[in-house]
Amino acid sequence: MIRYRTHAATVLAGLCLAGATTAIHAQELTVGVAAEPVSVDPHFFRTGPNMSLRENTSDALVYNNQTNGEIEPRLASAWEIVDDSNWRFTLNPEAKFSDGRAVSASDVIFSLCRVRNIPDSPGPFISFVETIETVEPAEGGVVIRTAGPDPVLLESLSMIGIVQSPTEGPLTYDKEDCGNDNWLDAQRFNDGTMDAGIAPYRVTSYRQGIETVLERNDAYYGPAPHYQKVVLKSIPENGARIAALLSGAADVIDAVPVNAIDQIYENEALQLISTPASRLIFFALDQEGEPSPKISGTEGRNPLKDARVREAINLAINREDVVSTIMDGIAAPANSIVMETIFGHNPDLPPIPFDPQRARELLSEAGYPQGFKMTLSSPTDRYRNDAEVAQAVTQMLAQIGLDVSLETYPQSVYFDRANNYEYSMYLGGAGADTGEGLSQLLNLVHSRDLDRGLGGANRGRYASPEVDALLEQALVTLDAETRRKMLQDAEALVYADHGYVPLFHEVAVWAASADVHFEPNAGQYNILYTARPAE
């Protein structure tokens, strides 16, 4: 349950989710974004801004409507379960690329193969196709065969945008070798050589650090979006984003800073739009490096490998204070990974107490009575108040005897460093992309295995064979209650291991002109094709 503590939070608790009066910018919408996409390529990097763009520019076979929990048709107009391992998908004959060619089985096969063959991806999508054994053309569509029952295949397929195959003739899907070497460099999407896919919008200009311009796809097979043109302006600085909204330079902004909520609420020309979000903000701990790159004073040992040290760090953090003081109440303190509204949440895990005295005792028991020196790492422009949260935690850890400093980086270099294991304790975030806890747990707590697309966000390299076994069994368990128990058991093991330092689950907040109808979503994506002038 989200607990609101301040006036700003109380304001959000009573908001309508969309607003209200007359229309502006009838053909153009400008959105100020805190974190820009780092690529137009829909398969390159599994990170929020990229997936947000993909929702508007590259349709998948199906759409996962997290508002009502329904799986809806997109490029596949229909599907059926042939048996436990085979699914037949019928492609919509009206779905055409910008050159007029209808989407084909080859495009589906190419796209599902391509996510397995993207070089240098900082966060691959492979986990979404991990169970797929074959994809074969069928009359009017494709047949997908999985290694066994896959209870979340539709949710997984909703994450994979379908792009046009550059290869003429039939393709073969194979987990090891799809028999093709023309996987399209990501730059071809960024420079406009390749369309991202079939969707309500097309990217017509991508200037990293400045803006991404989308134009309505008049050949789109589905409902036409209202706005002819949408400009996503990169405005990472909070004050500048608010100023753009106030001046009319932006019609909508995302990631509203908590200290601006009252100001926006009191402005009758503006509106606040909010919804609980699935993203967990956490600190990950290096549990493999020896020595760990940002730790000294331990004679080369990595203290984070010791569960007592990890528990001490968890006990040192006052989550209630972080939420009320740094987040102004616009978040919910977290004790585990999956939030309570998401399938797989474990309600039996108690809150992590704030107990600095016990934390100091644990450090002493682990052989560090005088603490040790460590640098925390944080982005400055990825999550709401990210650097401020990291600074507060730095100060809390100092209270248990650790000699802690903070380093910050823009997200453009931050995650590359994380993927190179350059941090000892770093701030991160991960949501339930598919609307349920399995994808979140596979991404965050499964042992890191990038070849299989597992543990993609597990850059601290937490590893538990028991957790891995539970999650892999959940992947092929059709009975919902049995699968739920497996996810809950996996969460309990991570909790007992102190494998992560969960901080809070976010609340997603946008602000917009009162003349714009803009719909929120728990994934914190900017869904542009449903935006329209308010009535």
Mean pLDDT by 10 residues, the chain (535 residues): 42 46 64 94 91 96 84 96 95 92 94 88 84 94 94 94 86 78 86 86 95 95 96 96 97 92 95 91 96 94 97 98 93 93 93 98 97 96 92 98 96 90 95 86 92 87 97 90 96 97 95 96 91 93
Arch. (CATH architecture) of 278-506: Roll (3.10)
Q: Outline where DSSP puts E strands in 359-484.
A: 373-379, 403-409, 425-430
* pLDDT (0 to 100) of residue 168: 73
CATH 3.10.105.10 in the chain is located at 278-506
User: Could you give the CA distance from residue 58 to residue 104 in angstroms, rounded to a whole number?
Assistant: 15
For the domain made up of 57-185, give the CATH fold: Dipeptide-binding Protein; domain 1 (3.90.76)
- H or E element: which one contains 64? strand 62-65
* pLDDT (0 to 100) of residue 9: 57
Are 420 and 286 in contact, with CB atoms under 8 Å apart? no
* pLDDT (0 to 100) of residue 367: 96
- Beta-ladder partners of 34: none
* pLDDT (0 to 100) of residue 207: 96
- 262-278: b (≥16 Cβ within 10 Å) or e: eebbeeeebbbbbbbbb
Q: Outline where DSSP puts E strands in 334-393.
A: 373-379
pTM of the model as a whole: 0.80
Residue-level length of the chain: 535
CATH 3.90.76.10 in the chain is located at 57-185
Nearest residue to 131 via CA among 119, 116, 149, 115: 149
* pLDDT (0 to 100) of residue 24: 43
For the domain made up of 7-36+191-276+508-533, give the CATH fold: D-Maltodextrin-Binding Protein; domain 2 (3.40.190)
Q: Helices 437-444 and 465-474 sit at what angle, rounded to 10 degrees? A: 150
Two tokens at 124?
């691959």
- H or E element: which one contains 496? helix 480-497
The DSSP 8-state label assigned to residue 120 in this structure reads: T
